[in-house]
Amino acid sequence: MKPGRDVLAFKRLFLTHAALAPATNQMSGHEPAGSAPRFSKRCTVSESFTPNERTRVVREPQRGVYDRETIYRILDEGLVCHVGFAANGQPFVIPTLYARIGDAVYFHGSAASRMLRGVSEGANICLTVTLTDGIVLARSVFNHSMNYRSVVALGKAALVDAPQEKLEALRAFTEKILPKRWDDARQPNEKELKATSILRLPLTEASAKVRVGPPEDDLADYALPVWAGVIPLRTVAGAPVRDERCDLGIPLPAYAAEYRR
> Which residues are at the interface with ligand FAD (CB under 6 A)?
54-59, 130, 132, 146, 148, 150-152, 207-209
> CB-wise, 14 or 148, nearer to ligand FAD?
148
Concatenate the DSSP letters of all residues of 6-26 into one string: HHHHHHHHHHHHHHHS-GGG-
The CA distance from 229 to 144, in Å, is 10
- CB 37 to ligand FAD: min, Å: 25
- CB 247 to ligand FAD: min, Å: 42
SS3 200: strand
> CB-wise, 55 or 113, nearer to ligand FAD?
55
The CA distance from 115 to 154, in Å, is 16
> CB-wise, 49 or 173, nearer to ligand FAD?
49
> CB-wise, 73 or 108, nearer to ligand FAD?
73
The CA distance from 154 to 124, in Å, is 7
Residues forming beta bridges with residue 211, ordered by sequence position: 148
The CA distance from 153 to 120, in Å, is 17
Q: Are 122 and 200 in contact (CB under 8 A)?
A: no
Q: Are 72 and 60 in contact (CB under 8 A)?
A: no
- CB 184 to ligand FAD: min, Å: 35
> CB-wise, 37 or 213, nearer to ligand FAD?
213
- CB 229 to ligand FAD: min, Å: 18
> CB-wise, 234 or 242, nearer to ligand FAD?
234
- CB 150 to ligand FAD: min, Å: 4
The CA distance from 97 to 113, in Å, is 14
Backbone angles phi, psi at 247, to 5 degrees: -50, 130
- CB 52 to ligand FAD: min, Å: 9
Write the CA distances from 91 to 39, 156, 157, 166, 250, integer angstroms: 33, 15, 16, 27, 46
